[in-house]
A and B are shown apart, each in its own frame.
Chain A
Amino acid sequence: AQSVTQLGSHVSVSEGALVLLRCNYSSSVPPYLFWYVQYPNQGLQLLLKYTSAATLVKGINGFEAEFKKSETSFHLTKPSAHMSDAAEYFCAVSDGGAQKLVFGQGTRLTINP
């Protein structure tokens, strides 16, 4: 069975600083991995996805993530944080056949001015 662990329920960085949100996964099959962002009282927006092509994936809003099989990780990074990046971020893994997404518990990103 697939599972996702997001390290840190709350991450706080200064505006302009590096953003690093950690995600580790467990999967019995080659995984499809996703990062989503959720703003208050809204649905989830897809930031980026890994689907077994390039291990470094670039997404929207300057975010990127690197798939590391040896570490079973898919950490999300952004070189320079903006105030508008403050939101909840979810890492998810697809279970393939059943097409379901398994979500991590989420990480709330706060940006300090």
Chain B
Amino acid sequence: GAVVSQHPSWVICKSGTSVKIECRSLDFQATTMFWYRQFPKQSLMLMATSNEGSKATYEQGVEKDKFLINHASLTLSTLTVTSAHPEDSSFYICSARFPGPSYEQYFGPGTRLTVT
């Protein structure tokens, strides 16, 4: 159990276009999901917290108009990178908080975004 999927696993887009990444919890309901960004050989940087039915909470320094997050249901959150530029190229990982008091998160396999 506790499986989280992401789609697509990799995507190449042209500068100025937008790209949407989906994160799904497959076998549990997640009221809270998280979006991370990871640069090569570095740790995960939390971008935002996504709560079902409400606006996402963005970390300091993350442009909310550039990284649009929608948590439309208890099993789906989406991250849209708008007007992408080469510096947005990165590995994006989502996680879903498992129900219960321990705050454990289960992670998706990640999406490699390359902006040309």
- Answer yes or no: are A and B bound together in one complex: yes
Interface size class of A (residues with CB under 8 A): 20 to 34
Interface string of B5-32 (1 = CB under 8 A from A): 0100000000000000000000000001
Contact pick for A44, options B2, B32, B101, B107, CB 8 Å: B107
Contact yes or no, B43 A104, CB < 8 A: yes
Interface class of chain A by DSSP: mixed
Interface string of B31-62 (1 = CB under 8 A from A): 01010000000111010010000000000000
Contact pick for B110, options A41, A49, A96, CB 8 Å: A41
Number of B positions contacting A (CB below 8 A): 25
Instruction: Point out the residues of chain B lying under 8 angstroms from A103, CB to CB.
Output: 43-44
| A43 and B93 in contact, given A99-B49, A105-B42, A105-B43 (Cβ under 8 angstroms) | yes
Bound-complex Cα distance A27 to B48 (A):
21
| A100 and B34 in contact, given A43-B109, A90-B44, A105-B43 (Cβ under 8 angstroms) | yes
Residue of A nearest to B59 (CB): A100
| Chain A positions near chain B (C-beta within 8 angstroms) | 32, 34, 36, 41-46, 49, 51, 90, 94, 96, 98-101, 103-106
| Chain B positions near chain A (C-beta within 8 angstroms) | 2, 4, 6, 32, 34, 42-44, 46, 49, 91, 93, 95, 97, 101-110, 112
